Amino acid sequence: MLTIYGSDLSAPANKVRFAANAIGVKYEYKRVDLRAGDHLKPEFLAVNPVGKVPAVDDGGFRMFESNAIIRYLADKNNSPLYPRDLRERAVVDMWLDFGSMHVGTVLSKVIYNRIFVPLRGLPADENSLQEGLKFLERFLPVVDGQLAKNKYIAGAKFTLADINLLALFDPCEIAAIDISPYKNIVRWRAALRKEKFYTDCHQAYGVSLKERLAAVKAK
Ligand SMILES: N[C@@H](CCC(=O)N[C@@H](CS)C(=O)NCC(=O)O)C(=O)O
C-alpha cells in the first residue's frame, strides 16, 4: 500500500495526490503538521531525511521530491500521463521541468512574500517579490501561448506536466496573482479543476489559509 505524506497547503504534496488519483493508485494520506514542526521530528526524518513534504512510502520503498514521485508512480502503473514514446516523453519532461524550475520558482517568491511572510510576522523581501512578479509577466504568456495552441501543456494529451502546473497555480488567488488576463490558462485550469482527480483532493485550495491571512491583515 502506498502512503503519501503531505500537508493540505503544500502545492507539491497536493500534486502527488492529484497524480495518484489521476493514475488510479490507491493510497493512504498522512498529514504532517508543518506548523507543529512534525516534519523535523525523527519519525518523519526516517521517512524523508530532507524533512519536507511530500514523501511517499510504497511498501517500504521511500521517496521524496514531488516530480520524481509522480514520474515513478506513472511509470510503475504504466500510465499514459507519462508517455513511453521517447519524444512524447521528452516534451512532457520539458514542460514539467519548465513548470517547476521557472514558473514554480518565481510563483513561490510571490506566494512566500504575500502569504507566508505575513502569517509568520516577518518582513517581506521586496526585491524577491518584485523579481517574482517580473518573471511571471514573462513566463505566464509562454504558458498561455502554449495552451492557445494545444488543449494541454505538452500537447493534445493530458499529462504529468498539467498536473504539476495545476498544483503550482493553486495558491494564486490567495497570493493576489491575477491570472485572468491569460484566457487559455483560465480555461485549462477551470476544466481540470472540475475533474475527479482534483476534487477528490480538494474542492478549493487553502480556505483556512485565506481566513488566517485575512485575520492577520485585519489586525
Ligand atoms: N521540491 C520539493 C519541495 C518540497 C517543499 O518545499 N515542501 C515544503 C511544503 S510546500 C515543506 O515541506 N516545507 C517545510 C520545510 O522546509 O521546513 C518537491 O517538489 O517535493
Instruction: Tell me if residue 56 falls in helix, strand or coil.
Output: strand
Averaged pLDDT for residues 141-163:
98
Q: According to the model, what pLDDT value does residue 40 have? A: 98
Q: Report which DSSP code applies to 95.
A: H
Same domain, 31 and 118: no
Same domain, 36 and 129: no
How many A from CA of 160 to the centre of ligand 1? 19
Nearest to 206 by CA among 88, 94, 115, 87: 115
Residue with the smallest CA separation from ligand 1 atom 19 is 66
Same domain, 50 and 26: yes
Residue with the smallest CA separation from ligand 1 atom 17 is 52
Residue 101 counted as domain residue: yes
Residue with the smallest CA separation from ligand 1 atom 10 is 10
Residue 167 counted as domain residue: yes
Choose the final residue of a domain: 24, 52, 76: 76
How many A from CA of 111 to the centre of ligand 1? 13
Choose the final residue of a domain: 49, 76, 103: 76
Residue 81: which pLDDT band, with cuts at 50, 70 and 90? very high
CATH number at residue 41: 3.40.30.10
Counting atoms of ligand 1 from 1, which one is nearest the CA of 16?
A: 20
Percent of the chain with pLDDT strictly greater than 90: 96
pLDDT at 174 over 90: yes
Q: Report which DSSP code applies to 78.
A: T
Same domain, 111 and 194: yes
What are the phi and psi torsion angles at 141 (to 5°)? -60, -30
Range of the domain at 180: 86-218
User: Which residues contact ligand 1 via a Cβ below 6 A?
Assistant: 10-12, 34, 39, 51-54, 65-66
Q: According to the model, what pLDDT value does residue 217 have? A: 86
Q: According to the model, what pLDDT value does residue 2 have? A: 98
How many A from CA of 53 to the centre of ligand 1? 5
Same domain, 131 and 199: yes
- In tens, the pLDDT along 3-55 reads 999 999 999 999 999 999 999 999 999 999 999 999 999 999 999 999 999 99
Same domain, 56 and 107: no
Residue 81 counted as domain residue: no
CATH number at residue 193: 1.20.1050.10
Counting atoms of ligand 1 from 1, which one is nearest the CA of 69?
A: 20
Alpha helix segments (H runs only) across the chain: 11-23, 42-45, 66-76, 86-98, 105-111, 117-120, 126-149, 160-169, 183-192, 196-199, 207-218
Same domain, 211 and 104: yes
What are the phi and psi torsion angles at 160 (to 5°)? -60, -25
By the 10 Å C-beta count (0-12 exposed, 13-18 middle, 19+ buried), 218 is classed as exposed
Residue 121 counted as domain residue: yes
How many A from CA of 75 to the centre of ligand 1? 23
What are the phi and psi torsion angles at 7 (to 5°)? -145, 140
Do the beta carbons of residue 111 and residue 105 sit within 8 Å?
no
Q: Number of structural domains, the chain?
A: 2
Same domain, 16 and 62: yes
Instruction: Tell me if residue 202 falls in helix, strand or coil.
Output: coil
Contacts of 211 (CB under 8 A, 6+ apart): none
How many A from CA of 128 to the centre of ligand 1? 19
What are the phi and psi torsion angles at 57 (to 5°)? -130, 110
Choose the final residue of a domain: 18, 48, 76: 76
Same domain, 65 and 130: no
Residue 162 counted as domain residue: yes
How many A from CA of 54 to the centre of ligand 1? 7
Residue 104 counted as domain residue: yes
Residue with the smallest CA separation from ligand 1 atom 15 is 52
Counting atoms of ligand 1 from 1, which one is nearest the CA of 54?
A: 20
Same domain, 201 and 94: yes
pLDDT at 219 over 90: no
Same domain, 106 and 177: yes
Same domain, 116 and 188: yes
